[in-house]
Amino acid sequence: MPLRPFTRLAKAGVLGINGRNLDFIAAYNPRKYYPLVDDKVITKALAIEAGVTVPELFGVIRYGGEAHLIEEIAKKHRSLVVKPARGSGGGGIMVFNGVAKAGLRRMNGQITPWADVKYHLNNMLSGMFSMGDGSDRVLIEERLVPHSAFSKLAFGGVPDVRVIVFRGIPVMAMLRLPTAESDGKANLHQGGIGAGIDLVSGITTRGVQHNDSVELHPDFETPVRDFQVPGWPEILELSARLGHHVGLGYVGVDIVICENKGPTLLELNARPGIAIQTANLRGLKPLLMPVHNLPTVPDDVHQRIEICKANWLGEPLDRFVAPGALP
């Protein structure tokens, strides 16, 4: 399929918002599949169907009259996360690690009184933090505990790995690290750190916070580069498998590496951001174009991972094209 003429920025290989929207999202993501990833309750069911581990769902709140259920659920599970089903960018998410008489304990130790928790639930239900118009549902789910390898890299919350998967082939990834500023969330615009990842080895290459380079995590002073992400082969496989399963050609897969559960799917994103390029100091376009030019992609996930690695290393992908598939 033809692509729009290259702009100056695109010549440098950097994918802009318009290029992302027109050439990749509009071209590769059929609208009918959006609801599967735009609603986190539905995504969870889809992931379970694909055999992928997800955070356990403790409950769904659908309207204000159900807000009181949070007390019961919190007393039973003690550690939990509330999030809008159609939220994005970390908006509205609150992470709690304990229950007190007066309310719920945040990751920074502060207690949020019950009345404030319920007020916040009502705000989420009103759609204040959600994509699209109208009201939303609220998920109450298990708080994930990150792998111990992150103990000196993730402040007060869960780091995640964002993988951009194109036609079922991972093309770029970054590790997102929560900071004191980002309050238990790893999203970059909440103040999290993004670290580029070498796709072949799973080792971080460099870090950015608020678009500036960072060498050390501000809360621990530990280097953010040269960190081996645990479970890297499993992360590549999970993202390649799910990216293919969901029917979206261009998708962001967010994965948490848990101490006990292993790689766990947090969410899928049909419009993944482009800041991942800054974290990697590399443009997406030169990685997307060779995959775009493949006549077909293999059904076998391991073959797609071979393509992913060759593509990352800048090797030609002809050897992956079946002779019969050439024009």
Ligand X SMILES: Nc1ncnc2c1ncn2[C@@H]1O[C@H](COP(=O)(O)OP(=O)(O)O)[C@@H](O)[C@H]1O
Interface positions with ligand X (CB under 6 A): 55, 81, 83, 87-91, 93, 95, 141-144, 157-158, 160, 178, 185-187, 254, 266-267
Q: What count of Cα atoms within 13 Å lies in the side-chain half-sphere of residue 301?
A: 14
Residue 63 backbone phi and psi in degrees, to 5: -150, 165
Q: For the chain, percent helix, then strand, then coil, each to nearest 5? A: 35, 25, 40
Q: How far is the CB of 181 from ligand X (least distance, A)?
A: 13
Choose among Mg ion, ligand X, none what residue 218 binds, the Cβ cut-off being 5 to 8 Å by kind.
none
Q: How far is the CB of 43 from ligand X (least distance, A)?
A: 9
Q: How far is the CB of 120 from ligand X (least distance, A)?
A: 14
The CA radius of gyration of the chain, in Å to the nearest whole number, is 20
How many Cβ atoms are within 10 Å of 179's Cβ, its own excluded? 22
Q: Which is nearer to ligand X, 191 or 283 (CB)?
A: 191
Please check whether residue 214 is in contact with residue 223, taking contact to mean a CB–CB distance below 8 angstroms. Answer: no
DSSP characters over 234-281: HHHHHHHHHHHHT--SEEEEEEEEETTTEEEEEEEESS--STHHHHHT
Q: Which is nearer to ligand X, 52 or 158 (CB)?
A: 158
List of residues contacting Mg ion (CB under 5 A): 254
Give the span between the Cα atoms of 184 and 179, in whole angstroms.
7
Helices then strands, counting H and E runs in the chain, come out as 11, 13
Choose among Mg ion, ligand X, none what residue 23 binds, the Cβ cut-off being 5 to 8 Å by kind.
none
Choose among ligand X, Mg ion, none what residue 158 binds, the Cβ cut-off being 5 to 8 Å by kind.
ligand X
Choose among ligand X, Mg ion, none what residue 39 binds, the Cβ cut-off being 5 to 8 Å by kind.
none
Query: 178: closest CA among 190, 168, 163?
Result: 190
Which amino acid is it at 215? E
Taking CB atoms, the residue at the shortest distance from Mg ion is: 254
Query: 274: closest CA among 202, 171, 168, 154?
Result: 171
Choose among Mg ion, ligand X, none what residue 87 binds, the Cβ cut-off being 5 to 8 Å by kind.
ligand X
Q: How far is the CB of 85 from ligand X (least distance, A)?
A: 10
Q: Which is nearer to ligand X, 68 or 189 (CB)?
A: 189
Please check whether residue 152 is in contact with residue 161, taking contact to mean a CB–CB distance below 8 angstroms. Answer: no
Choose among Mg ion, ligand X, none what residue 38 binds, the Cβ cut-off being 5 to 8 Å by kind.
none
Q: Which is nearer to ligand X, 10 or 235 (CB)?
A: 235
Choose among Mg ion, ligand X, none what residue 124 binds, the Cβ cut-off being 5 to 8 Å by kind.
none
Q: How far is the CB of 16 from ligand X (least distance, A)?
A: 22
Query: 239: closest CA among 250, 228, 252, 230?
Result: 252
Q: How far is the CB of 132 from ligand X (least distance, A)?
A: 13
Please check whether residue 195 is in contact with residue 205, taking contact to mean a CB–CB distance below 8 angstroms. Answer: yes
Q: Which is nearer to Mg ion, 23 or 254 (CB)?
A: 254
Residue 121 backbone phi and psi in degrees, to 5: -60, -40
Q: Which is nearer to ligand X, 130 or 280 (CB)?
A: 130
Q: Which is nearer to ligand X, 231 or 283 (CB)?
A: 231
Q: How far is the CB of 169 from ligand X (least distance, A)?
A: 22
Q: How far is the CB of 165 from Mg ion (least distance, A)?
A: 15
Q: Which is nearer to Mg ion, 125 or 186 (CB)?
A: 186
